[in-house]
Amino acid sequence: MTPGEVSFILEATVSKTFWKQEKFAAGRGAPMGEVRLRDIAERLGVSVTTVSRALAGYNDVAPKTRQLVLRTAREMGYYPNLTARQLQRRRTDTIGLVVDVTGPRFSDPLFSELLAGVGNRAAREGFDLFVATMLPDTDDELQAYRRLVRGRRVDGIIVVRTRVADRRVQFLLEQQFPFITFGRSTITDHVSWVDVDGERGVQMVVERLIAAGHRHIAMLQPDLPLMFALLRERGYRRAMRAHGLPVKETWIVRRPLTEDGGYQGMQHLLRLRTPPTAVVAGNDQMAIGAIRALQDRGLRAGSDVAVVGFDDIPLARHVHPSLTTLRQPIYEIGQHLCRLLVAVLRREADGPRHLLLQPELIVRESARL
């Protein structure tokens, strides 16, 4: 919004005395660049095999030898070359995550929380995390997956925002590559997933809106074929039908899943002959946009039009009026995704695993329920 004032850039080597120079003990934390098993073996006059086994903790090494190897390895600062190990073991102990970063001002609050959940759990399970970013519009999305899968850079993949006919899911199935999705997809067999029950969540919200007297209830849906949108719409229709209320197709508006999208969508709804008195948005950003559109028309969310979001991002309780929303426990979802995928990788899982979490309705000011 702020006109982008060009910031002054200085690219140069700053003088050494520009600011206080603190000396670190150049310490004898030796450099010891490149210690291989072989180096230890040669030093000790044993074979590489023995060193390898001693370090791996096999029991067919003489205690005395093991001690010696262990000590020497520490002394020499040995650290295994993970790449070599991966090649030999034919696995990477790494989990892949492809995230479509939406341009410069991307900062999906859900994402960092998901990453935290996945990452922490992965570390706990002894797995590394590999993150590939890509602009979602660029069609080399599959390219990124191909790289991870075919290049054997990871052992398993987490797919994050499932779409209705998800090529990524299709690809991974074809490749018979281990993966788990956040969100269901149109294929459910042989696919592990974690999801939040948006269908039921929205159904419940709509029912509570109806109970509160609302009859004209609209949906601000994403303009992409996202799986969660499809399911939530089903919940919406079911609730309306259950109460004998007609669903006017013009009440279902599809816009980008952004604040601006919500703004546009709400504007559109307000221009209808019979504008809705309540709106369920695809996510909190859209809901916030909708609130803003109402304000610009002199209306107030909560009293004039009820607005419900989805996700409960940190911002939700800060906007005015604060946002009534369906909360998704993203951090926990991240942990579950990782946990279940690891179970599959370790073959602890007999078949695909499914985990359906219920969203929690957080009632605030934008919709009194």
* Residues in 61-90 that interact with DNA by CB under 7 A: 61-66, 78, 80-81, 84-85, 87-90
- Positions in 58-87 near its own copies (CB under 8 A): 77, 79-84, 86-87
Closest by alpha carbon to 362, among 327, 333, 332, 322? Answer: 327
For DNA (CB under 7 A), the number of binding residues is 31
Q: Which of positions 217-256 make contact with DNA (CB under 7 A)?
A: none
Question: Residue 247 interacts with its own copies (CB under 8 A)?
Answer: no
- The residue (of 82 and 211) whose beta carbon lies closer to its own copies is 82
Distance in Å from the first CA to the final CA of the chain: 34
Q: Which of 23, 56, 244, 347 contacts DNA by CB under 7 A? A: 56
Q: Which phi and psi angles does 195 have, rounded to 5°?
A: -150, 160
Residue 45 binds to its own copies (criterion: CB under 8 A): no
Q: Which of residues 312-331 bind its own copies (CB under 8 A)?
A: 313-315, 317-320, 327, 329, 331
Contact call for residue 130 and its own copies (CB under 8 A): yes
Count of all residues that appear for the chain in the document: 369
Under 8 Å between Cβ of 359 and 326:
yes
Residues numbered 29-48 forming contacts with DNA, rule: CB under 7 A: 34, 36-38, 45-48
Q: How far is the CB of 156 from its own copies (least distance, A)?
A: 15
Give the count of residues interacting with its own copies (CB under 8 A): 105
Q: Return the number of other C-beta atoms located less than 10 Å from residue 205's C-beta.
A: 28
Q: Which of residues 14-33 bind its own copies (CB under 8 A)?
A: 14, 16, 18-22, 24, 27, 29-31, 33
Please, which contacts does 117-122 make with residues 24 or more away whose CB atoms are closer than 8 Å?
117/330, 117/331, 117/332, 117/333, 117/334, 117/335, 117/337, 117/338, 118/158, 118/334, 118/335, 118/337, 118/338, 119/334, 120/335, 121/334, 121/335, 121/338, 121/339, 121/342, 122/95, 122/338, 122/342
Instruction: Output phi, psi for 98, to 5 deg.
Output: -105, 125
Cis peptide leading into 359, omega within 30 of 0? no
Q: Where in 134-193 is the site for its own copies (CB under 8 A)?
A: 134-135, 146-147, 150-153, 165, 170-171, 173-176, 184, 186-189
Residues forming contacts to DNA in the complex (CB under 7 A) are 34, 36-38, 45-50, 52-53, 55-56, 59-66, 78, 80-81, 84-85, 87-90
